[in-house]
Structure 1
Amino acid sequence: MISNNPALSRFLESYGIILVVLVMMAILYATQPATFLSATNLSNILKQNAYPAMLALGMFVVIITAGIDLSVGSVLGLSIICLAVADKAGVPWPIVLLIGPLVGTACGLVNGLGYTLLKLPHPFIMTLGTLNIARGLTSLISQAPISGLQPEVRFAGQKVFDFGIFLPPAGVPFSFFLVIICAVGLWFFLNRTNMGRHIFAIGGNPQAARVSGIDVDRVLVYVYAICGFFAGLAALLLAGRTDSGFPLAGIGNELDAIAAVIIGGASFFGGRGTVLGVLAGVLIMGLLRNGLNLNNISPFWQQILIGLIIIIAVYIDVLRRRAATRK
């Protein structure tokens, strides 16, 4: 019936993921009515999922091109240690705020240039190498957490605005607004600029993109630099929230970022996906973890359920691709 109703199909394609979020919220409210909608819990959900959202936004740009970046978690770790070391060394806070994004962007450029100049068969290889290099550099710089950051550095991760009339009344984290600003900026970049259209074109058909005159290698370098930039921003948010830089930061976060993008409706085959879907994917994972914690369910079940969701999301993507090829 759905396939015979184009309007309904388009609606579900665009907003089905939002319906999933609303259903999850309704279920969590039904199971934990006194806790789930509490001001503290809602504020914590927004704050805890800010830096994963930044990672997912960067990963989204890469996945649009049918690529992958396995290094974002390690890049986050390297960025957070670099900014923490600079902070403790007395570097002025405006410069400290820039260090995370700059380190992340530099790592992204290494990924992009290495992948394109070395003509590697897949970005998996380059980013897997960078994952290990960045993690090793992080441990060489510091093997212990560095805490006690400047108040201005903590601002992005800890500042909460209490508007009173808005949910949650306990306050809306500044990091939430920063994620929204970055998401809107990324949406504009991908949908309203030539570079953004080229990124989607490469994901749809890289050979056709080359024939049409697009400098595919140059665009891919920008793509991985953007991904690294978002990883550096994520490091800044995490450093602010935890008031520290620690060498184990970001371990496994690359898998969460990939999962959020795929759950949000992007395709591993490239060329499709939306920023709204990515944010919804992050929220679905955040709500899942929050709900399991509220119901005192083992965190190991989180890994199992998220793994199952990823498999289902990719399978749906495969079915969608098969259906499209038959038309």
Structure 2
Amino acid sequence: MSSKTKEFLKKTTIFWVLVLLIVIMAFLSPAFLKGRNVANIVKQISINGILAVGMTMVIITGGIDLSVGSVVALSSITAAFFGTAEKDYPAVIAVLMAVLVGVIVGLINGIGVAYIGFPAFIVTLSTMTIVRGLALIVTNGVPIFGLSDSMINLANGTLANIPNLVFYLLAVFIVGIVLLNFTVFGRHLYSVGGNSEAANSAGIHVNRILTVSYCISGFCAGLAGALAASRITSGNPTTGEGYEMNAISAAVIGGVSMSGGKGGLFGTLIGALLIGVMQNGLDILGISSYYQKVIQGLIILVAVFFDIRGNKEN
């Protein structure tokens, strides 16, 4: 086997794992590839995929954002508040307000990491707890119902029989790919993640890049919150629990290095698909969600192991 072939297989391993998983699930359950179930898989991965885009940006800088699940909850409440039939605001207003909430939290995270110097884990763990608490306080733990038809249709509608969520996911990924691969910001993002001191010496505004990356993560979480509210037709303070782990999983499984400076959104998309296929398939097979968490944790551990091994070899 030639070195080029080996390199190609190494770079596309996660894709072939996804293909193998789909084949296995289709063999074990005839219902797996039916149209309705495929649509369910797409809906399941769309929100996580959007979160994973922002998470990828942050992890490339060498950071992490544990607050996104809580931001989804607070943003979903915000979207539901402005998206009720009683208030009759256009759905776009509800989405913009939800996104604004996400960006504000992202800005707080970014300032804490970049300008104050807190570890990303500590800052985002704190905002994760604070934001979840705020979501429970403002609703008194009670979901907001009564969303308008336009708000409900945002995530539950279709275009040419394709769920709207697919288009939102693709739009976010395309914008993310352009940012990472075709802009100065993208080049600087990788530079900061690879070696922040060298990037600073080269004249890159490291603090600004870090702050913007967390704002992008907040933006994605805010949008995901609005879509989550639309999908479940309510704003729920408990929405988004565990979403941060799914987003991190998608990025890491997709090859984004936890040490920063490496990875891309194509791998993240494959990672999100793999997680969605795995969760859906295990649900169909009647495997308990408790075991699913164990499996997902082991997959992350294996992915990080190979990441560390690869960094040592380089």
Q: TM-score range by the shorter chain?
A: over 0.9
Distance between the aligned counterparts of 1:282 and 1:305, measured in 2?
15
Distance between the aligned counterparts of 1:195 and 1:99, measured in 2?
26
Distance between the aligned counterparts of 2:187 and 2:234, measured in 1?
38
TM-superposed deviation, 1:181 = 1.3
Q: SS of the counterpart of 1:272?
A: coil
Distance between the aligned counterparts of 1:65 and 1:116, measured in 2?
11
Match in the other structure for 1:108: 106
2:213 to 220, 223, 229: 223
Distance between the aligned counterparts of 1:42 and 1:259, measured in 2?
21
Match in the other structure for 2:137: 140
1:31 to 28, 45, 68: 28
Match in the other structure for 1:46: 42
Per-residue CA deviations over 1:28-69 (Å, capped at 9, x if unaligned) read 111112x01111100111012111111111100000001001
Distance between the aligned counterparts of 2:220 and 2:94, measured in 1?
16
Per-residue CA deviations over 1:107-163 (Å, capped at 9, x if unaligned) read 10111012222122x2111111111111111111101111221122222310123x4
Per-residue CA deviations over 1:64-98 (Å, capped at 9, x if unaligned) read 00100110111111111112122236161231121
Match in the other structure for 1:315: 305
One-letter identity of the residue aligned with 2:201: V
2:163 to 152, 159, 173: 173
One-letter identity of the residue aligned with 1:51: I
2:294 to 304, 314, 322: 304
Q: SS of the counterpart of 1:76?
A: helix
Match in the other structure for 2:151: 153
How many pairs align?
311
2:190 to 187, 200, 204: 200
Match in the other structure for 2:81: 85
Distance between the aligned counterparts of 1:80 and 1:181, measured in 2?
20
Does the 8 Å CA contact 1:50/1:237 hold for their aligned counterparts?
no
Match in the other structure for 1:7: 4
Distance between the aligned counterparts of 1:234 and 1:30, measured in 2?
33
Match in the other structure for 1:166: none
* 2:56 is aligned with 1:60: yes
Match in the other structure for 1:19: 16
Distance between the aligned counterparts of 1:249 and 1:279, measured in 2?
22
- Cα RMSD (Å): 1.3
Match in the other structure for 1:167: none
One-letter identity of the residue aligned with 1:32: S
Distance between the aligned counterparts of 1:73 and 1:17, measured in 2?
25
Does the 8 Å CA contact 2:94/2:226 hold for their aligned counterparts?
no
Q: Which moved more, 1:146-155 or 1:21-30?
A: 146-155
Does the 8 Å CA contact 2:95/2:223 hold for their aligned counterparts?
no
Q: What is the TM-score of this pair, normalised by structure 1? A: 0.92
Match in the other structure for 1:168: none
One-letter identity of the residue aligned with 1:254: E
Which blocks of at least 5 consecutive residues in structure 2 are unaligned? none
Distance between the aligned counterparts of 2:136 and 2:32, measured in 1?
38
Q: What is the TM-score of this pair, normalised by structure 2? A: 0.96
Distance between the aligned counterparts of 1:184 and 1:227, measured in 2?
15
Distance between the aligned counterparts of 1:55 and 1:14, measured in 2?
23
Q: Percent identity?
A: 39
Q: SS of the counterpart of 2:272?
A: helix
Distance between the aligned counterparts of 1:310 and 1:252, measured in 2?
14
One-letter identity of the residue aligned with 2:68: V
Q: SS of the counterpart of 2:208?
A: helix
Q: SS of the counterpart of 1:190?
A: helix
Distance between the aligned counterparts of 1:221 and 1:9, measured in 2?
38
TM-superposed deviation, 1:253 = 0.9
Does the 8 Å CA contact 1:259/1:310 hold for their aligned counterparts?
yes
TM-superposed deviation, 1:100 = 1.3
Q: SS of the counterpart of 1:245?
A: coil
Q: 1:188 to 1:157 in 2, by over 3 A?
A: same
Per-residue CA deviations over 1:230-277 (Å, capped at 9, x if unaligned) read 001111211111111100011111111111110111110111111111
Q: SS of the counterpart of 1:144?
A: coil
Distance between the aligned counterparts of 1:37 and 1:97, measured in 2?
32
TM-superposed deviation, 1:284 = 0.8
* 2:211 is aligned with 1:213: no
Does the 8 Å CA contact 2:76/2:227 hold for their aligned counterparts?
no
Does the 8 Å CA contact 2:26/2:33 hold for their aligned counterparts?
yes
1:282 to 234, 257, 272: 272
Distance between the aligned counterparts of 1:321 and 1:114, measured in 2?
28
Distance between the aligned counterparts of 2:261 and 2:115, measured in 1?
23
